[in-house]
Amino acid sequence: MRVLVSGGAGYIGSHTVLALIEAGHSVVVVDDFSNSKPTVVARLESLSGQHIPVHAFDLADIDKTTQLFSIEEIDAVIHFAGFKAVGESVSKPLEYYQNNLGSTFSLLHAMRRHEVKKLVFSSSATVYGDNAPVPYPEDYEHLAAASPYGRTKVMIEHVLSDVAHATPGQRIALLRYFNPVGAHPSGEIGEDPQGIPNNLMPFVAQVAIGRREKLEVFGGDYPTADGTCERDYIHVQDLAAGHVAALEHLDTMSEPVRAFNLGTGTGTSVMELFRAFEKAVGRELPYEVVGRRPGDLPAYWADPSRARDELGWTATRTIEDMCADTWRWQSANPQGFPDGS
């Protein structure tokens, strides 16, 4: 299939572009490069050995988006593009709603105009909110996120569900990611957060490379085995494979829309991840246990059985793989991707 990947120069988007090409699909990328660099595409072309058409504009522009579907023959869409910093969304809610929902509406209009009916959406475990039973099950009804960012994901899931039910033949998969980490084993692409990383793994990687002084562990007094929060970390390569599996499942999906957890089903604590990263680097790294970060939940992970049973997909990579691949990427690219085109 010829797949339009929105946000294809981003962390998960770029790894999924490679996986799609390796699975025999062709890819068109649209990205406004507001949170990614054009040099990512050059790396992807080098890794895939293929030219990857790129269109650089804001997807919220309905005219440009509809025109894109006239220029490029598109069979399906994987929609990653969106703002995704939880903390930032609290101080900039309007920008998050405008961008994340606006880009989705624009895509849906263009898809309807050009009768493109297959869509895979980048959702998040954050839609489960604070009260879902662990492991999180997809059929949990009371979706309610705790941040404007998370609420954009809940709203978009509802929009996509309503549109899918109203459009004969439409098939939409909602992929709820847990904690994506790791990098392509080549070390050529990986997570490259702009500014101070919000997330654990890139922050630890920057401590190891010498860009950050030490890891601050946000809370050591949680009701968990070692007192630090537990999360379901999933290797970005497994995540990318999950997108290919979901895309290829759409034709046989009986419902118009269906959510799938992409996780390992296993919780790992902050300190367990930190110790695994020290092993990957081969030396101790500096850290300090400090106060809790507001809004953090003690422990949650996925029930991954639906993706296993219906997509034939299971995460296979270990925490050690996640740390080794992250370290290979970070040590080969201490400052992340280079600037330039």
Count Cβ neighbours within 10 Å for each residue of 102-130 and write b for 16 or more, e otherwise.
bbbbbbbebbeeeebbbbbbbbbbbbbbe
Rank residues 65 and 126 by Cβ distance to ligand WQD and give the closer one.
126
Contacting residues for 2 by C-beta, under 8 A, at least 6 apart: 25, 26, 27, 28, 72, 73, 74, 75, 76
Calpha distance 206→330 (Å, rounded) = 8
Contacting residues for 79 by C-beta, under 8 A, at least 6 apart: 6, 7, 103, 104, 107, 119, 120, 121, 122
Binding to ligand WQD by residue 224, rule CB under 6 A? Answer: no
149 is catalytic: yes
Binding mask 145-184 for ligand WQD (x = CB under 6 A): ----------------------------------x-----
Tokens of 98: 């405008």
Binding to ligand WQD by residue 16, rule CB under 6 A? Answer: no
Residue of 96, 105, 196, 193 lying closest to 149 (CA atoms): 96
Q: Which of residues 65-94 bind ligand WQD (CB under 6 A)?
A: 84, 86
Binding to ligand WQD by residue 229, rule CB under 6 A? Answer: yes
CB atoms within 10 A of CB 65: 25
Binding to ligand WQD by residue 198, rule CB under 6 A? Answer: yes
Q: Which of residues 40-69 bind ligand WQD (CB under 6 A)?
A: none
Near ligand WQD by CB under 6 A: residue from 130, 162, 288, 296 = 296
Binding to ligand WQD by residue 216, rule CB under 6 A? Answer: yes
Binding to ligand WQD by residue 293, rule CB under 6 A? Answer: yes
Near ligand WQD by CB under 6 A: residue from 100, 126, 206, 268 = 126
To the nearest whole angstrom, how small is the minimum distance from the Cβ of residue 285 to ligand WQD?
A: 12
φ, ψ for residue 288, nearest 5 deg:
-145, 130
Residues that bind ligand WQD (CB under 6 A): 84, 86, 124, 126, 179, 198-200, 203, 215-218, 229, 231, 270, 293, 296
Q: Which positions are annotated as active-site residues? A: 149
